[in-house]
Structure 1
Amino acid sequence: MQVSESRMDEVLAARYAQILEEFDPAFYDLDEARLRKLSTPFLVNGPRDATARKVMVIGREYGASGWNVKAHEKGARAYVQAALARHREVFDGFLAGSTGPGLSFPNFLRDLAKCLGTADGLIYSNLLCVDSRGKSPTRSKYFPKIADLSKRLLDVQIDHFRPDVIIFANGTSGEQVRIRRKFFPIKGKGRVFVSRRHWMDIGIEKGQLEEFELHGKFLCYRIQHPANWRGDAGVQAARARRHLLDLLSAGAPQAHAAVDIADSENACPANAG
């Protein structure tokens, strides 16, 4: 049975509200958030067409004032409605905007929509749901709570949307790797990421493009953040993104022999973005 976007958002909004109601209310109160030098939580809509091929892109974008949401009424449910409307506005702006090197992430989303033939199945999310004045919040004393909230929201998004493909486009900098590995462990008893293949045989480094499986059921790719466009590393990153787009435009890839994810991530170049 087809599930409409409005119905999906109704269910999703209830799940978001439950998380926020159990969390610190100061996080979604704009005045309190500003006192903490933080944005309010950036919540994520589902695809416009629930029956379309769903591709979820998890970036590392920081929206500064664009992430701040002031609900007209008090409470988590009112905040969720306002935040989802804001997300739709931001995402639509990404897809409709102009191109340029300073708009690398929106450029990638538009390229992705073009290769899929539609933007109706795209889902835009971020590894962290709160920023600090347009920058990473990792130095904030509230970061442990920010990480906790971000992980809860990501788990709900993945479970609710059931994406056909997840693209981790948040980069391979030390900070981003540590956060991603904490959220989605790559080894030990809690391991949820298993590597499937890479493309070193055609000259694409593991640190530029790799395919994984999450929770034994979600097909994932890891690429550099699209802002990595300068110099030789930028050329390699662009080639890897182009290859990924070609793979996705050709349909769902087939499983390949597993490789060790921990070794592959340790092989990433030190200056990767």
Structure 2
Amino acid sequence: MTMHSRQPAASSDLASRYLRALADFDTELLDRHAPRADAKELSGLFLPSVPPNWLGARQRIMIVGCETRQWNVLQTGERFSSLEHYVEQSMSVHQAYFAQQLSRSDIKGRAFHNFTRAVAQRSGSDGLIYANLLCMAWKQGSPVRCDHFDQIKHYSKLLLDVQIAFFQPEIIIFANGSATAGYRRDFFPLARDEQGKALGCDYVDDGVPNAQLWQFPLGHRKCYRIQHPSSRSPAAASARQFLLGLLPGKPE
């Protein structure tokens, strides 16, 4: 079986894992045509797709943002038909969107995907996975104050676990920022030594404040925590640049 022929099988496998994780999800929250009144401001469900050349990637890096402001999975007027179709559609939207973002070079300022493009340029895009800490947005922003946040938080954790288990990234960059840092720690409690001190290291000796960049383990994986790439702080920008230098370069 060639690598090309295995790619659809990998996508099907990931979709099946998503479906198992979402088995009890309240699908009435997903119908954009006739949404429940208390859910009409929710975005669609964000589900990362399999990168086109992922199976041949020499290194795998996952970048975790916070939540996507607007994520339209169903077309205007399209009714929710089944969770299977919805999962497939969301993954398709993700694949098209991320491919478009990686191909762009005209975005000014501090857009999130300026950072993902910089990581792709440094380490390659074959094994680059774009994920989010929270799987839905509310009113094109954080869902924390939404009535459905407990459910969103629950499934966000389940879906991230699915993604990490499936993609097996060697490196995870948590770029979700300080506003949702507490939920990241809830999802992934820090490993600690016998004295209770969190395992990890900073780069203060290199002139990078701990608040801007910190490395910590998640199992055998190396993780980094930075501010959201939209941060206007010069210190945050310097930390992002420093982090790029820590990442592996493209394979020869």
Normalization by structure 1: what TM-score? 0.80
Query: RCO higher in 1 or 2 (8 Å CA, sep ≥ 6)?
Result: 2
What SS is found at the alignment partner of 2:137?
coil
Q: CA deviation at 1:32?
A: 5.1
Task: Please say if residues 208 and 240 of structure 1, whose CA atoms lie closer than 8 Å, have aligned partners that are also in contact.
Answer: yes
> What is the CA–CA distance in structure 1 between the aligned matches of 2:34 and 2:17, rounded to whole Å?
23
What SS is found at the alignment partner of 1:158?
helix
1:144 aligns to 2:150 (yes or no): yes
Please give the residue correspondences for 1:196-207 in structure 2 after superposition, counting only pairs within 5 Å: 196-207=200-211
Which residue of structure 2 aligns with residue 268 of structure 1? none
Q: CA deviation at 1:33?
A: 4.5
Please give the residue correspondences for 1:62-77 in structure 2 after superposition, counting only pairs within 5 Å: 62-64=68-70, 66-70=71-75, 74-77=81-84
What SS is found at the alignment partner of 1:180?
helix
> What is the CA–CA distance in structure 1 between the aligned matches of 2:178 and 2:83, rounded to whole Å?
34
Task: Please say if residues 32 and 79 of structure 2, whose CA atoms lie closer than 8 Å, have aligned partners that are also in contact.
Answer: no
Which residue of structure 2 aligns with residue 255 of structure 1? none
Instruction: Label 1:73 to 1:51 Cα distance change in 2 as closer, same or farther (>3 A).
Output: same
1:88 aligns to 2:95 (yes or no): yes
Task: Please say if residues 115 and 245 of structure 1, whose CA atoms lie closer than 8 Å, have aligned partners that are also in contact.
Answer: yes
Supply the AA of the counterpart residue of 2:151: K
Supply the AA of the counterpart residue of 1:221: Y
1:236 aligns to 2:239 (yes or no): no
Which residue of structure 2 aligns with residue 261 of structure 1? none
Please give the residue correspondences for 1:138-177 in structure 2 after superposition, counting only pairs within 5 Å: 138-173=144-179, 176-177=180-181
Q: CA deviation at 1:250?
A: 4.9
What SS is found at the alignment partner of 1:195?
coil
Q: How many residues are paired up?
A: 239
Normalization by structure 2: what TM-score? 0.86
Which residue of structure 2 aligns with residue 99 of structure 1? 107
Instruction: Give 1:10's match in structure 2, choosing from 9, 12, 16.
Output: 12
Supply the AA of the counterpart residue of 1:121: G
Q: Which runs of 5+ in 1 are unaligned?
A: 252-273
Which residue of structure 1 aligns with residue 247 of structure 2? 248
| Runs ≥4 residues deviating over 3 A | 1-4, 31-35, 70-73
